[in-house]
Amino acid sequence: MERYAALLRGINLGSRMRMSMADLRDLLAGLGYTDVATHLQSGNAVFTGTGGEQEVAARIEAAIRERLGMPVRCLVRGRRELADVVARDPLREAVTDPARYLVTFLSDKPDPGRYADLDPARFAPETYVVGEREIYVWHPDGMRNSKLTHAFWEKRLGLVATSRNWNTVTKLLSMLD
């Protein structure tokens, strides 16, 4: 048995794709997962179960589609990998506000050829660092006018992406313990 964090992409951000966290908890429990808890209203859940991350994500996506009629993408990280994401924090010295510091989680390792030609100066004062299956993005002036969104990374990398601020990332890790 392993502890997992599920990160649902694109729910409860507007009037469409609405999902209650009670429904999400019930859905995960119905799939046989235990110790289910959610955080905030933006599709963050932790639970205990078995299977690989991609298998678990596919099961959750299929259940949401079948039971709730929504085509929601889901990224799953095990406790160890989420702890590694926090431990590897490459921008800890630069970040002054964790609410403006995002981790964009990716569905797979990015191909360096798809981002090697990006000029970081083009995005200043924002800073980013590509990790294993995540991108750390510091938005010192806020995210409102940022070009470094999860949608930017999805298009650039050809992967599914979803972002969480540092407060949420560290809270999910503490919930997994």
Whether cis (ω within 30° of 0) applies to the bond prior to 125 is yes
pLDDT at position 14 is 65
Whether 11 shows a pLDDT value over 90: the answer reads: no
As a whole number, mean pLDDT of residues 135-157 equals: 95
Decide if pLDDT at 19 tops 80: yes
Scanning the chain, the segments in alpha helix (DSSP H) are 21-30, 53-63, 79-87, 150-157, 166-176
Q: Which stretch of DSSP H or E encloses residue 134?
A: strand 134-138
Give the span between the Cα atoms of 99 and 143, in whole angstroms: 10
pLDDT value, residue 31: 97
Give SS3 for 73.
strand
For residue range 47-76, what is the model confidence (pLDDT) as tens digits? Answer: 999 999 999 999 999 999 999 889 999 999
What would the mean pLDDT of 81-101 be, rounded to a whole number? 97
Q: How much is the pLDDT for 13?
A: 65
Residue 119 has pLDDT above 70, yes or no: yes
- Mean pLDDT score of the chain: 95
pLDDT tens string 96-106: 999 999 999 99
- Token pair recorded at residue 140: 């010192």
- CB contact set of 37 (below 8 Å; sequence gap of 6+): 25, 45, 46, 47, 175
pTM of the model: 0.94
- Residue 123: how many other CB atoms lie within 10 Å: 16
Residue 70, exposed/middle/buried by CB under 10 A (0-12, 13-18, 19+)?
A: middle
C-alpha angle 19/136/58, rounded to 5°? 40
